[in-house]
Structure 1
Amino acid sequence: MSSNASSLPADAEKSATSQWLSWILVVTLIYLLLAAVGSIGDGFKMATGNNAKELFAFATNPFIGLMIGLTATALIQSSSTVTSIIVGMVAGGLPISIAIPLIMGANIGTSLTSTIVSLGHVRNGEEFRRAFSAATVHDAFNIVAVAILLPLELAFSPLQHTAEALAGFVASDTGVDMKSINVMKMILAPAADLLKISVSWMPNKIWMGVALIVIGIGMILFVVSAIGKVLRTVMVGKAKVIMHRSIGRGPISGMASGMAITVLVQSSSTTTSLIVPLAGSGVFSLKQVYPFTLGTNIGTCITALLAATAISGPTAILAMQIALVHLFFNIFGIVIIYMLPFLRGIPPAIATKLAVLAQRNKLYVVAYMGGIFFALPLLMIGATQL
């Protein structure tokens, strides 16, 4: 008995040390994320000079941008990664008007993960129906949000203007020249200098810029994945407690829960992957899952906002602006679709119909996943280039 008792403090101390090491690793990874985003911005500036707009002229069609964002996110399986890359590209000269459809596409592409998770219930017809509807309600909401907000954005630019106003307010609210006291720039300077030195052997600035972009994208892919793994180890237990306590209390509590858990684990894919099996087993209904997934959409915006803080100089406001566009797109989507009774029921109705078809014939699952996330986007991109 005494041996067991004496081992308890040692185990607790070991656990506390492990927790501290995990959080130190998270801070290190966040630093690398910021450095990676800065690297992409520096790379675009170096490679394109003042010709960035001409470089992205092929994407002036917003539907191409939308499809590229959708397919890229579906392939990478992380909207956080894609939006962080977009923030870096905007800092490097990508026009906001092109970046906005990319962001919208990323919002749709990220919902593929939960649909894949639902396949774990495919052997049990009723469980699969519940799981598939819980997964695709996320897809359906994001698609409906794009169908409403993209035409509005093209006609009146509400997202761009709102984000521009807030980004300008944040910048001007300081009342001082931020370039002279940019703490983030000072913190990231060693990493930025080291990255530039690592490509200094390249023959010219164009190749140096391309190398910085490739390094930055590679770092973001690694860091976002690593942060997710570390935070899942540390936080998923707490996330499940939050989920069980709050989802059944109503839509506002459900949204708040989805947002909080996504911020904790830094991955909307992880959050929705937690809820889908619970929906499949009947613990939560589609009505309860629906607002929860909307909260994950807001929670995932934190990565882009964090990434925007890595940018300094004249493009800093633009980087913050596109990060805020991501946030406002999801907020406006909730306000317009969920708050209006005649629109609120559309995503669940779509998800329910898809689930019934999928339960009846699994070929519908293949057609849906392959068509929405890959075949249709690629066909639209090809058609617009003719």
Structure 2
Amino acid sequence: MLLSGWGKFVRWLLVLLSILVIIIGINLILDGVYGFGTFSTTQMYQVAKDPLIGVLIGILATALVQSSTTTTTLTVTAVGTGIVSVPVAIPIILGANIGTTITAMLVAFSYVGERREFKRAFTVAAMHVWFNVLVILVLFVVELLFHPFRTISGAIATEITLTTGGSLPTSGVMTKIFDPPTQLLGMNGLIGSIGNPSISAIVCLVVGTILILISVRAMSSQIRTITAATVTSIMDKVINPENSPKATILSNFWSFILGVLFTLMVTASSVTVASMQPVAASGVVKQKPLLGVILGANVGTTVTAMFATFAIVSDQGEFAIQAALIHLIVNFTGALLVLCIPQLANVIIHLAEKTANLTARSYSITLATIVTAYVLVPSAVLMIYFFI
């Protein structure tokens, strides 16, 4: 769909508005946390101290809201308030990496009735799944044992904080711009007029979360429309087999860059992966370039959480930066390993193809398995952990 100059201008204004609303949502969450009481809010996160439970929370939350960006942004915000420590945030963020893979698997069901196309589309979704699962199994274990990502991200975050004089360079501007609307809507304003401080604080948390969720989706939709024609043209040039007959290191690299850039534009890795499924279903593109795009999508999706740290002006801002950096470093490290080790890429593709062949035998069993793995099992484990 081609847009007029005026149409693009209006859509970019909507993107800017979405960004502003995201920051207001973050500030409302911060306001709600302080109003609810640090101790009381911390109690809500005690359950996430177990790494496995943290991963399950990340999977379930992301599967339900269909946005890892929302989950990671809220987690980084929680770190910025001081109610969640960086070690607790890491499993939740990595769980969000897995939870976001449900979207592409559900999109693959649009090819039900055409088993060949379904298998090809589901292979793309399965590559997304297997990459993230393998990254969690390997890098998460390494982090638990040796803490390399926490150490590296902590050093970078400290350097950023020292360089900027103890606060982010935008903190003063953010306060001047967003403090008035937060005061108007938050604990000292409209929501605070409810009367009961605890209820008002909970409403702040809920409203802030909803604003972030809606704004991320709105921004993604607008940018996707603006860039649709351009991105499609670039995709054809980068991963079209006529231009790249073999899955060489160079073509994989450019596919990776494409995945990063596309995801930066649409702010959702699941959208990038889902956009690859029609290309895969047509059967004209090999798997390795598509895997490169998926790897890039996993890196590109970390940027929104990094952006969220600029809206956090508390003393815990350094730790929020660290949490966002860990997401970036883990995803980039995983992508780099797959790009540099062809055998690892082959394993992911092989597992994805086997998974797609298996799922094509029964659509209903496949759908039931997905719902069970992403929603029912995490929910059951969390309920047992809470009440027993």
TM-score (norm 2): 0.90
Does the CA contact (< 8 Å) of 1:66 and 1:104 recur in 2? yes
Going from structure 1 to structure 2, the CA distance change for 1:238 and 1:123 (only over 3 Å counts) comes to: same
Q: Aligned-pair distance for 1:344?
A: 2.8
Offset at residue 50 of structure 1 (A): 4.6
Partner of 2:306: 305
Matches of 1:332 and 1:293 in 2, distance apart?
14
User: Closer, same or farther in 2 for the Cα pair 1:203/1:115, shift >3 Å?
Assistant: same
2:316 is aligned to 315
Pairing 1:243–2:244 present: no
Match of 2:48 in 1: 59
Cα pair distance change 1:343/1:373, threshold 3 Å: same
State the partner residue of 1:294: 295
Q: Does 1:143 align with 2:144?
A: no
Task: Please say if residues 37 and 87 of structure 1, whose CA atoms lie closer than 8 Å, have aligned partners that are also in contact.
Answer: no
Q: Is the 8 A contact 2:126 2:352 kept in 1?
A: yes
Secondary structure of the residue aligned to 2:204 is helix
The reply on whether 1:127 has 2:128 as its aligned counterpart is no
Shift of 1:367: 4.1
| CA separation of 1:382 and 1:256: change in aligned 2, threshold 3 A | same
What is residue 276 of structure 1 aligned with on the other side? 277
Q: Which amino acid aligns with 1:144?
A: L
Answer whether contact 1:357 1:364 (CA < 8 A) is retained: no
Q: Name the structure 2 match of 1:75.
A: 64
Q: Following TM superposition, by how much is the alpha carbon of 1:96 offset from its aligned partner in structure 2, in angstroms? A: 1.4
Any conservation in 1 of the 2:259–2:297 contact (CA below 8 Å)? yes
With over 3 angstroms needed to count, the CA separation of the structure-2 counterparts of 1:95 and 1:362, relative to structure 1, is: same
Q: Indicate the larger mover: 53-62 or 216-225.
A: 53-62
Unaligned runs of 5+ in 2: 245-250
The root-mean-square deviation of aligned C-alpha atoms, in Å, is 2.1
* Secondary structure of the structure 2 residue equivalent to 1:231: helix
Q: How does 1:327-338 map to 2 (within 5 A)?
A: 327-338=328-339
Decide whether the 8 Å contact of 2:253 with 2:339 is kept in 1. Answer: no
Counterpart in 1 of 2:247? none
Task: Report what 1:213 is aligned to.
Answer: 205
User: Which letter maps to 1:346?
Assistant: V
1:230 aligns with 2:219: no
Deviation, structure 1 residue 140: 0.9
Q: In structure 2, do the counterparts of structure 1 residues 180 and 276 end up closer, same or farther at CA, with 3 Å as the change threshold?
A: closer
- Seen in structure 2, the aligned counterparts of structure 1 residues 125 and 317 have a Cα distance that, compared at 3 Å, is same
Counterparts of 2:234 and 2:170 in 1: how far apart (Å)? 42
- 1:42 and 1:323 map into 2 onto residues whose CA distance is 21
- Residue 383 of structure 1: CA displacement? 5.0
> What CA deviation, in whole Å up to 9, does each residue of 1:142-162 have, x standing for no partner?
011111122222222222222
Distance (whole Å) between structure 2 residues aligned to residue 379 and residue 345 of structure 1: 34
Residue 52 of structure 1 and its aligned partner are, at CA, apart by 4.4
Q: Displacement, 1:345? A: 2.4
More displaced 10-residue stretch of structure 1: 26-35 or 280-289:
280-289
Tell me, yes or no, if the aligned pair for 2:264 and 2:300 is still in contact at 8 Å: yes
* Residues 130 and 355, structure 1, Cα contact 8 Å, conserved in 2: yes
Matched to 2:118, the amino acid is F
CA distance in 1, matches of 2:63, 2:135: 18
Match of 2:248 in 1: none
Does 1:23 find its partner at 2:12?
yes
Separation in structure 2 between the aligned mates of residue 265 and residue 180 of structure 1, nearest angstrom: 24
Distance 1:345 1:34, change over 3 A: same
Change in 2 beyond 3 A, CA 1:199/1:154:
same
Over 3 Å counting, the alpha-carbon distance change for 1:322 and 1:178 in structure 2 is: closer
User: Once structures 1 and 2 are overlaid, which stretch shifts more, 301-310 or 342-351?
Assistant: 342-351
The amino acid of 2:258's aligned partner reads: S
Gaps of 5+ in 1: 1-11
The answer as to whether partners of 1:258 and 1:299 remain within 8 angstroms in 2 is yes
Tell me which amino acid in the other structure corresponds to 1:199. Answer: I
The whole-number CA distance in structure 1 between the counterparts of 2:203 and 2:332 is 36
Secondary structure (helix, strand or coil) at the match of 1:261 reads helix
| Contact map agreement 1:41 1:90 (CA 8 A) in 2 | no
5 Å-filtered alignment, 1:148-163, equals 148-163=138-153
8 A contact 1:129–1:359 mirrored in 2: yes
Q: In structure 1, how many angstroms separate the alpha carbons of the residues matched to 2:295 and 2:107?
A: 18
CA-to-partner distance for each residue in 1:216-271, whole Å, 9 max, x for gaps?
Answer: 01101111111112112211221212221223451110010011011112222221
Percent identity, please. 30
Contact 1:236 1:265 in 2 (8 A): no
User: What is the one-letter code of the residue matched to 2:231?
Assistant: A
SS at match of 1:182: helix
Query: Residue 91 of structure 2 corresponds to which residue in structure 1?
Result: 101
TM-score (norm 1): 0.91
Shift of 1:335: 2.7
Call closer, same or farther: CA 1:180–1:62 in 2, change over 3 Å: closer
Are the structure 2 counterparts of residues 165 and 246 from structure 1 closer, same or farther at C-alpha, using a change threshold of 3 Å?
Answer: same
Residues 353, 367 of structure 1: CA spacing in aligned structure 2 closer, same or farther, 3 A cutoff? Answer: farther
